[in-house]
Chain A
């Protein structure tokens, strides 16, 4: 599918892998993967940040784990094995967050557990970590995680600014905020606007070249 341009061996440099995750293949805005948390926890920047960090850590750790053991995984059982690896790391992160950030965890706890089912992580394992050596895999995981973190923070800032008149708790807008953007429906509209904006920017940058809009990657599950 349109998760095109997956680099085969020789793997590209670390810098390109990082940028690829943040912009060209941003998991939320370009690939349209793992959207559930992108709407659910982004009512404030802090919530977006904590879930973004959790995903970043899980992505890097499970990518590295798969890259290390990839030769001993039988291809027919690879998906269940990946799932178990992710679930182990998610359980660890879940307990760490519950222990050190109880207040924030109370708000995003369910979504931290649900990282197991995020398509972005397993798709990176399948497309990249299972084929590449350790070092490029690490940077790919880091890039994807940072891209996800970036997307969550942007959406969180957008919604908190419009819906609460503040960013990270600091009041910025003097007027009465639009409560709508905090509501579920507002989350969907925010993402629609931001995604359209990213499409516009990309089209301008590439001189109107015909790339399929909206990432088109919805069928990844």
Chain B
């Protein structure tokens, strides 16, 4: 712990030096009043000051949600921690994933408090792959899921192929939606355009793979054609479009959903290989028992609902 803090202090000093050089060595560039601030669940703000603040009464501080800058949240207590940082206690609960605004009245200072970009992206990936797994909690891609999960090796092949095509098509769809459809007010064409992109990409990958690597094509070619009928590949661009996602969020959602589908497929294939050997009531043989197995997985995945990378 101590070593990490020392390392962090060194890094901070380095950053300060770089910043000083950046400012052309002008000493006039004074340090900001609020150097850093972080929301901590359930109701705290940790503030690192760049300049001393004389008035440490709760009335000197104002915390609001970035989306509702007029509604101040009540600050109940301000304490100074041994390391010099301020520890604000709020009356209501806050989440580190959301965007807040911290203001100090004297000396006047404002700072946006939001999670680091990588943390947000990580949470999108985790959420799409585990917490809101597309197969087990959003019920998408079931046709391919039940068709391909009979054997382990086919499930792995499908998982890899699907994730690759998913990422490519989501990014292409995002670019076309953001730079072509939105400016031209053609959003109602999104279904047509997105499915066209998927069909085009599948054909492209198939042709290129056939020319470049016959062995790989023999192995993954059959899965490529199935991808067009997988709802997930269409759902991700649609979700990105309706959420007005940025490029990195779109990428994170694509990677997360692809990985989530691959995980689901692999788990299911393991269970189904066992179920093949089990004695199942006659009416349940085949798909009904596969559905029951999926139900069990879905129950297990509900446990991920408590997973929070920001704690």
The residues of A that contact B238 with a CB separation of less than 8 Å are: 110, 113-114
Tell which of B67-75, B134-142, B170-178 binds the partner. Answer: B134-142
Q: How far is the CA of A116 from the CA of B140 in the complex (A)?
A: 13
With beta carbons under 8 angstroms apart, the residue of B148, B203, B234, B294 that contacts A117 is: B234
Tell which of B1-9, B32-40, B190-198, B244-252 binds the partner. Answer: B190-198
Q: How far is the CA of A221 from the CA of B142 in the complex (A)?
A: 9
Residue A213 at the B interface, CB < 8 A?
yes
In the bound complex, do residue A91 and residue B143 qualify as a contact, i.e. CB atoms below 8 Å apart? no
Residue A203 at the B interface, CB < 8 A?
yes
The residues of A that contact B233 with a CB separation of less than 8 Å are: 117
Q: Could you say which of B143, B147, B199 has the most chain A C-beta atoms within 10 Å of its C-beta?
A: B143
Tell which of A18-26, A31-39, A67-75, A138-146 binds the partner. Answer: A31-39
**Contacts A80-B199, A195-B287; is A184 near B147 (CB within 8 Å)?**
no
Residue A177 at the B interface, CB < 8 A?
no
Residue A127 at the B interface, CB < 8 A?
no
With beta carbons under 8 angstroms apart, the residue of B189, B235, B291 that contacts A114 is: B235
Residue A119 at the B interface, CB < 8 A?
yes
Residue A185 at the B interface, CB < 8 A?
yes
Q: Please provide the chain A residues from 49 to 88 with a CB less than 8 Å away from any CB of chain B in the complex.
A: 79-80, 83-84, 87-88
Tell which of A7-15, A159-167, A186-194 binds the partner. Answer: A186-194
Q: How far is the CA of A79 from the CA of B136 in the complex (A)?
A: 29
Residue B31 at the A interface, CB < 8 A?
no
Residue B24 at the A interface, CB < 8 A?
no
How far in angstroms is the closest Cβ of chain A from B19?
A: 46
With beta carbons under 8 angstroms apart, the residue of A33, A114, A195, A203 that contacts B140 is: A114
In the bound complex, do residue A33 and residue B143 qualify as a contact, i.e. CB atoms below 8 Å apart? yes
In the bound complex, do residue A32 and residue B192 qualify as a contact, i.e. CB atoms below 8 Å apart? no
In the bound complex, do residue B288 and residue A195 qualify as a contact, i.e. CB atoms below 8 Å apart? yes
Interface string of B189-220 (1 = CB under 8 A from A): 11110011001000100000000000000000
Residue A6 at the B interface, CB < 8 A?
no
How far in angstroms is the closest Cβ of chain B from A24?
A: 17
Q: Could you say which of A95, A184, A195, A213 has the most chain B C-beta atoms within 10 Å of its C-beta?
A: A184
Q: How far is the CA of A122 from the CA of B238 in the complex (A)?
A: 20
Residue B286 at the A interface, CB < 8 A?
yes
The residues of B that contact A170 with a CB separation of less than 8 Å are: none
How far in angstroms is the closest Cβ of chain A from B170?
A: 14
Report the nearest A residue to B287, measured CB to CB.
Answer: A214
In the bound complex, do residue A39 and residue B139 qualify as a contact, i.e. CB atoms below 8 Å apart? yes
Residue B146 at the A interface, CB < 8 A?
yes
A-B interface pairs (CB < 8 A), number: 157
Residue B23 at the A interface, CB < 8 A?
no
In the bound complex, do residue A91 and residue B295 qualify as a contact, i.e. CB atoms below 8 Å apart? no
Residue B91 at the A interface, CB < 8 A?
no
Q: How far is the CA of A185 from the CA of B231 in the complex (A)?
A: 19
Residue A218 at the B interface, CB < 8 A?
yes
In the bound complex, do residue A221 and residue B295 qualify as a contact, i.e. CB atoms below 8 Å apart? no
With beta carbons under 8 angstroms apart, the residue of A88, A95, A184, A196 that contacts B298 is: A184
Interface string of B272-291 (1 = CB under 8 A from A): 00000000011111111111
In the bound complex, do residue A183 and residue B139 qualify as a contact, i.e. CB atoms below 8 Å apart? no
Q: How far is the CA of A28 from the CA of B225 in the complex (A)?
A: 22
How far in angstroms is the closest Cβ of chain A from B257?
A: 13
Q: How far is the CA of A190 from the CA of B193 in the complex (A)?
A: 35
Report the nearest B residue to A121, measured CB to CB.
Answer: B229
Query: Can you spell out 23 A-B residue pairs with CB atoms less than 8 angstroms apart?
Result: A39-B139, A84-B192, A87-B195, A113-B234, A114-B231, A116-B234, A117-B230, A122-B229, A184-B139, A185-B296, A185-B298, A192-B284, A196-B283, A196-B288, A199-B282, A199-B283, A213-B282, A213-B288, A218-B143, A218-B146, A220-B229, A221-B143, A221-B230
Among all A-B residue pairs, the 7 with the closest Cβ atoms = A214-B286, A188-B295, A214-B287, A192-B291, A185-B298, A221-B229, A40-B139
